[in-house]
């Protein structure tokens, strides 16, 4: 699937056709930016969650997990700053009537310039081959350095405007750069306005402000308000982490691009509590750890990059994103933030309760500093799906569509197929499933030719297919086919379980 522009469309239609992701309430023409995970999607999603939970929680002695409620006391969101500051700057194009995030328009403008530089570098590589010194080229090529200066100038103006909440300056920057609406092509913009992203609803039957509550826009606050509960009941010693997987809700201004930006989504977050002054050490450590977690999936190291935040959030003293090369280009997949002691201090102030830790080594009480790693489960799903979907030309001239999912995340680990529907072959196949089903999600498939069945398993990413034939009844052997190499081997049924474990267990990623 070389054509990047078409890849997102292909991913969306493949996801629907095979039961990974459906538009929500589709029979009513859907609801914008909400999606349902189907029978295979929910398996894949659960496997991603498992991979995260196992590696972040169960494999760290000093990290534990919780499951906090979505509704929280409304003061939580006053304290966290979300009521006053969880805004996006929005701008409308008067001709197309399309709405945009002003900061995203500027980010995209800078990305275009960066891509121009990358083209220059590619040209250099082609021209000079082996002898090409990329670092020197980047530092000295006049086009590249000019582009870097341009980006830097835009970044500086954007940071200053956003930090000072100067919306007039944001609009001025968009006008000065002559950014046009991608739909109408016009530069006829409205003023920039702030828009709060929290959904609110009412609790109980009493009307009025006191009963207004919010759907949580991030899972992090459920961790902060439970900091002492967990620390005390779990006898946790700093440094330690609290992790959580759960739904979050944001009334996003523009929610396009499939499950990349939804109004209801799922986060996998971990807050790591450290001694004040040690946060930078841990920030760097977690950047490294998280990148390793991604790399283990084998989707290609070149598909990840760090991006430092241009404008730091009100609570952070350092922040970066791990960006992934999505079908739409490099975009944020995960955020790593040094949140200082901002959240715990705010909750102390608003609740009047102390949220401090007594450090026996220092013989001192303090409010811990926090490093957060926060990844969108749905974005992770999209990253995996889009990097795995491949079209391959086969030797006989035909083409196959294959979903090369990391084997341990695949919805089904193995498909068991009787060669024919008679002669006791289906019974033998079901016998094998009965042995394997405790450890591996298996699919039984007896319909159509074996070739067609292989293609179906390729399309849903099943790493192995096992065919039961007449010989199987005599000598207890089967043919096992590898999804990626398409190689087939004759093996004893008794070996299947160990073979599958070796190739598809989660531990292959975790080790
Ligand atoms: P963006 O800049 O793309 O809006 P963000 O910086 O607001 O994202 P964070 O607040 O850092 O995002 O949230 C942590 C993670 O949650 C993100 O890295 C992303 O993977 C995920 N996430 C955030 N908003 C959405 C959304 N609307 N839909 C799906 N995932 C999301």
Q: Domain containing 295 — which CATH number?
A: 3.30.930.10
Ligand 1 centroid–CA 87 distance in Å is 13
pLDDT digits 0-9 by tens, 48-88: 999 999 999 999 999 999 999 999 999 999 999 999 888 88
Residues 146 and 114 in one domain: yes
Residue 331 covered by a domain: yes
Interior angle at CA 255, CA 172 and CA 194, nearest 5:
40
**Residue 369 to residue 335: CA distance in whole angstroms:** 17
What confidence category does residue 1 fall into, taking pLDDT thresholds of 50, 70 and 90? very low
Residue 143 covered by a domain: yes
Residues 210 and 329 in one domain: yes
Residue 292 covered by a domain: yes
Interior angle at CA 11, CA 6 and CA 14, nearest 5:
120
Ligand 1 centroid–CA 326 distance in Å is 14
Residue 257 covered by a domain: yes
Residues 245 and 369 in one domain: yes
**Residue 31 to residue 36: CA distance in whole angstroms:** 11
pLDDT digits 0-9 by tens, 299-346: 999 999 999 987 787 778 899 999 999 999 999 999 999 999 999 999
Ligand 1 centroid–CA 466 distance in Å is 40
**Would the pLDDT of 352 be above 70?**
yes
Residues 186 and 207 in one domain: no
The number of the ligand 1 atom at minimal distance from the alpha carbon of 267 is 16
Residues 412 and 303 in one domain: no
- 116: which 2 tokens? 């121009």
**Would the pLDDT of 163 be above 50?**
yes
Ligand 1 centroid–CA 259 distance in Å is 11
Q: Which residue lies with its CA nearest to atom 30 of ligand 1?
A: 376
Ligand 1 centroid–CA 247 distance in Å is 12
What average pLDDT does the segment 190-213 reach? 82
Structural domain for 305, as ranges:
46-73+203-386
Task: Specify the 3-state DSSP secondary structure of 381.
Answer: helix
Q: Which residue lies with its CA nearest to atom 18 of ligand 1?
A: 334
Residues 348 and 228 in one domain: yes
Identify the CA nearest to 271 among candidates 80, 56, 81, 59.
56
Pocket test for ligand 1, best of 80, 81, 87, 261 (most atoms within 8 A of CB): 261
Instruction: For the chain, give the percent of residues with pLDDT over 70.
Output: 98
Mean pLDDT across the chain, nearest whole number?
Answer: 94
**Residue 266 to residue 271: CA distance in whole angstroms:** 16
Based on the structure, what is the number of domains in the chain? 3
Cα-Cα-Cα-Cα dihedral of 493, 497, 499, 504, to 10°? 140
CATH of the domain at 184: 3.30.40.230
Which own/partner pairs from 123-130 qualify as long-range (CB within 8 Å, at least 24 positions apart)?
none
Residues 238 and 333 in one domain: yes
What average pLDDT does the segment 278-297 reach? 97
Pocket test for ligand 1, best of 267, 316, 318 (most atoms within 8 A of CB): 267
What average pLDDT does the segment 174-181 reach? 96
Residue 373 covered by a domain: yes
According to the model, what pLDDT value does residue 410 have?
Answer: 98
According to the model, what pLDDT value does residue 52 have?
Answer: 98
Ligand 1 centroid–CA 74 distance in Å is 22
What average pLDDT does the segment 495-505 reach? 96
CATH of the domain at 477: 3.40.50.800
What average pLDDT does the segment 495-509 reach? 95
**Would the pLDDT of 212 be above 90?**
no
Residues 161 and 227 in one domain: no
Pocket of ligand 1 (CB under 6 A): 218, 250, 252, 261-262, 265, 267, 332-335, 374-376, 378-379
Ligand 1 centroid–CA 459 distance in Å is 29
Q: Which residue lies with its CA nearest to atom 12 of ligand 1?
A: 335
pTM: 0.87
Element (H, E) at 43: helix 39-53
Ligand 1 centroid–CA 464 distance in Å is 35
Residues 248 and 307 in one domain: yes
Residues 227 and 328 in one domain: yes
Q: Which of 157-166, 260-269, 378-387 has the lowest mean pLDDT?
A: 157-166
Q: Which residue lies with its CA nearest to atom 19 of ligand 1?
A: 376
Got the DSSP string for 294-329?
Answer: HHTT-S-GGGEEEEE-SS--TT-SEEEEEEEEETTE
What average pLDDT does the segment 373-393 reach? 97
Q: Which residue lies with its CA nearest to atom 8 of ligand 1?
A: 332
What confidence category does residue 2 fall into, taking pLDDT thresholds of 50, 70 and 90? very low
Last residue of a domain, one of 166, 196, 226: 196
What confidence category does residue 499 fall into, taking pLDDT thresholds of 50, 70 and 90? very high
Residues 451 and 469 in one domain: yes
Last residue of a domain, one of 386, 415, 446: 386
pLDDT digits 0-9 by tens, 102-153: 999 999 999 999 999 999 999 988 888 888 898 899 999 999 999 999 999 9
**Residue 17 to residue 24: CA distance in whole angstroms:** 15
Q: Which residue lies with its CA nearest to atom 21 of ligand 1?
A: 376
407-433: b or e for each residue (b if 16 or more CB lie within 10 Å)?
A: bbbbbbbbbbbbbeeeeebbebbeebb
476 touches 496 (CB < 8 A) = no
Residue 16 covered by a domain: no
Q: Which of 253-267, 354-368, 418-432, 450-464 has the lowest mean pLDDT?
A: 253-267
Ligand 1 centroid–CA 275 distance in Å is 27
pLDDT digits 0-9 by tens, 222-259: 999 999 999 999 999 999 999 999 999 999 887 779 99
Residues 261 and 361 in one domain: yes
Sequence-separated (6 or more) residues with CB below 8 Å from residue 469: 419, 425, 478, 479
Residue 142 covered by a domain: yes
Residue 445 covered by a domain: yes
Q: Which residue lies with its CA nearest to atom 1 of ligand 1?
A: 332
Got the DSSP string for 229-295?
Answer: HHHHHTT--SSEEEEEEEEEE---S---TGGGS-SEEEEEEEEEEE-TT-HHHHHHHHHHHHHHHHH
Instruction: For the chain, give the percent of residues with pLDDT over 90.
Output: 86
According to the model, what pLDDT value does residue 496 have?
Answer: 97
Ligand 1 centroid–CA 335 distance in Å is 8
Q: Which residue lies with its CA nearest to atom 25 of ligand 1?
A: 261
Last residue of a domain, one of 168, 196, 224: 196
The number of the ligand 1 atom at minimal distance from the alpha carbon of 250 is 27
Q: Which residue lies with its CA nearest to atom 4 of ligand 1?
A: 261
**Would the pLDDT of 182 be above 50?**
yes
The number of the ligand 1 atom at minimal distance from the alpha carbon of 321 is 18
């Amino acid at each position: 699937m070389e054509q990047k522009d078409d890849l997102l469309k292909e991913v969306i239609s493949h996801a629907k056709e095979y039961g990974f992701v459906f538009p929500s309430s589709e029979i009513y023409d859907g609801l914008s930016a909400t999606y349902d995970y189907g029978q295979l999607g929910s398996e894949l999603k659960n496997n991603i969650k498992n991979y995260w939970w196992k590696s972040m929680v169960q494999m760290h002695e000093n990290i534990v997990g919780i499951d906090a409620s979505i509704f929280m006391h409304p003061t939580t969101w006053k304290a966290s700053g979300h009521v006053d500051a969880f805004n996006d700057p929005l701008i409308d194009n008067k001709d197309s009537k399309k709405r945009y995030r002003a900061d995203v328009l500027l980010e995209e403008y800078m990305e275009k310039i960066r891509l121009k530089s990358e083209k220059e570098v590619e040209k250099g590589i082609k021209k000079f081959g082996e002898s090409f010194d990329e670092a020197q080229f980047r530092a000295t090529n006049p086009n590249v350095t000019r582009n870097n200066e341009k980006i830097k100038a835009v970044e500086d103006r954007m940071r200053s405007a956003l930090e000072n909440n100067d919306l007039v300056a944001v609009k001025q920057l968009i006008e000065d750069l002559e950014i046009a609406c991608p739909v109408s092509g016009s530069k006829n913009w409205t003023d920039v306005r702030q828009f709060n992203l929290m959904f609110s609803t009412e609790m109980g039957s009493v009307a009025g402000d006191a009963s207004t509550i919010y759907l949580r826009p991030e899972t992090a606050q459920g961790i902060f308000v439970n900091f002492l509960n967990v620390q005390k009941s779990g006898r946790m010693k700093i440094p330690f982490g609290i992790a959580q997987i759960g739904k979050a809700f944001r009334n996003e201004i523009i929610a396009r691009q499939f499950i990349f930006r939804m109004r209801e989504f799922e986060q996998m977050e971990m807050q790591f509590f450290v001694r004040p002054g040690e946060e930078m050490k841990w920030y760097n450590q977690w950047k490294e750890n998280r990148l390793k977690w991604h790399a283990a999936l084998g989707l290609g190291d070149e598909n990840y990059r760090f991006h430092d935040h241009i404008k730091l959030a009100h609570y952070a003293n350092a922040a970066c994103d791990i960006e992934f090369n999505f079908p739409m280009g490099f975009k944020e997949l995960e955020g790593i933030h040094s949140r200082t002691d901002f959240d715990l201090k705010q909750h102390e102030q608003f609740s009047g309760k102390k949220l401090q830790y007594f450090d026996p080594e220092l013989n001192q009480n303090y409010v811990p500093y926090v490093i957060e790693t926060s990844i969108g489960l749905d974005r992770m799903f999209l990253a995996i799906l889009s990097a795995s979907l491949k079209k391959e030309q086969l030797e006989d001239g035909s083409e196959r569509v294959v979903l090369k999912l990391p084997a341990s995340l695949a919805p089904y680990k193995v498909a068991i197929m009787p060669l024919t529907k008679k002669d006791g072959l289906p019974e033998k196949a079901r016998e094998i499933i009965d042995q394997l089903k405790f450890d591996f999600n298996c699919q039984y498939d007896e319909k159509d030719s074996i070739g067609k069945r292989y293609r179906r398993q390729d399309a849903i990413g099943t790493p192995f297919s096992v065919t039961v034939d007449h010989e199987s009844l005599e000598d207890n052997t089967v043919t096992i086919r590898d999804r990626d190499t398409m190689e087939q081997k004759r093996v004893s049924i008794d070996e299947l379980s160990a073979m599958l474990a070796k190739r598809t267990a989660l531990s292959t990623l975790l080790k």
